[in-house]
Amino acid sequence: MSNENAAPDGLKAKHRAMWALGDYPSVATHVIHGLGGELVRACGVRQGDRVLDVAAGSGNAAIPAALTGADVVASDLTPELLEVGRHLAETRGVRLDWREADAEALPFADGEFDTVMSCVGVMFAPHHQQAADELVRVCRPGGTIGLINWTPEGFIGQMFAAMRPYAPPPPPGAQPPPLWGDPEHVRALLGDRVGDVDARRQRLRVDRFARPEEFREFFKACYGPTIVTYRFITEDPERVAALDAALDDLASRHLADGGMDWEYLLITARRAAAE
């Protein structure tokens, strides 16, 4: 177990600050709102279950889990997102526990939860094996681990690829987030500590953006990783214009019939019984 009150190191402090930029709750509420409930259903969350949502943000999955009657803890590195989640939960009339925590060093006991889940959250922890080890550790034997992550080949994976030439260099040892959308990568991370693995590529229909420019401006204003990338090149107007064009081109290639389809990997697994 880690000390949940310990100050984050430099890398984690940067991550926490990145997700506090802009307005990620608007992304969760107005763009990807359907993913949380999808994950809760796939995990089979029921009344009375003890559930942990890792990198929960503002509660896109944690709140639907609490609405089932489960006992839910929503953990995230960024307190600003947790505060928004508390307010959203109050408006929905549900109670859950909001805890500041690092996905790579969770402040919970071994086997504490019946279900451990993450909805496009844990994928942004820089050290994938450490995060996967924690997901397994805090799940009870026989419990469920459920994840939704953007795939490398899907729209968001392509967006990160488009931003990479303009973004700050990744820190040593950090792995690209969309790797969590590769089923073989996730299977390797979890290893033989889980069984009954079910991995499915699915698509989220996003009808929030009618034109490429609407997508680009929304993400420039609201999405932490995009904001950080633009800030890194803000003194170079030519590079800013080139990134604008790259994101517009990406969106234009995916827009059809008034919307886009964003591919994600939904994976569920059963924690192996203790030896």
Is residue 247 in some structural domain?
Answer: no
Is residue 253 in some structural domain?
Answer: no
CA–CA separation, 108 and 66 (whole Å): 19
Is residue 117 in some structural domain?
Answer: yes
Q: For the residues 192-214, what does the mean pLDDT come to?
A: 96
Phi and psi, residue 201, nearest 5°: -85, 125
Is residue 113 in some structural domain?
Answer: yes
Q: For the residues 115-119, what does the mean pLDDT come to?
A: 98
What confidence category does residue 2 fall into, taking pLDDT thresholds of 50, 70 and 90? very low
Please count the structural domains in the chain: 1
> Is the pTM value of this prediction over 0.75?
yes
CATH label of the domain that carries residue 175: 3.40.50.150
Is residue 102 in some structural domain?
Answer: yes
Is residue 27 in some structural domain?
Answer: yes
139-150 β-sheet, strand order: 97-100, 71-76, 50-54, 113-119, 139-150, 260-271, 194-206
Pairing of strands 50-54, 113-119: parallel
Is residue 252 in some structural domain?
Answer: no
What confidence category does residue 9 fall into, taking pLDDT thresholds of 50, 70 and 90? low
- Give the 3-state DSSP-derived string for the chain, with helices as H, strands as E and coil as C: CCCCCCCCCHHHHHHHHHHHCCCHHHHHHHCCCHHHHHHHHHHCCCCCCEEEEECCCCCCCHHHHHHCCCEEEEEECCHHHHHHHHHHHHHHCCCCEEEECECCECCCCCCCEEEEEEECCHHHCCCHHHHHHHHHHCEEEEEEEEEEEECCCCHHHHHHHHHHHHCCCCCCCCCCHHHHHCHHHHHHHHHHHEEEEEEEEEEEEECCCCCHHHHHHHHHHHCHHHHHHHHHCCCCHHHHHHHHHHHHHHHHHHCECCEEEEEEEEEEEEECCCC
Half-sphere exposure of 48 (CA within 13 A, CB side): 0
Model confidence over 159-201: pLDDT tens digits? 999 999 999 998 888 999 999 999 999 999 999 999 999 999 9
Question: Which residue, among 82, 80, 53, 83, has the nearest Cα to 65 in the 3D structure?
Answer: 53
pLDDT at 109 over 50: yes
Q: Give residue 176's domain range.
A: 10-155+168-207+262-271
CA–CA separation, 193 and 207 (whole Å): 39
Model confidence over 23-46: pLDDT tens digits? 999 999 999 999 999 999 999 999
Is residue 176 in some structural domain?
Answer: yes
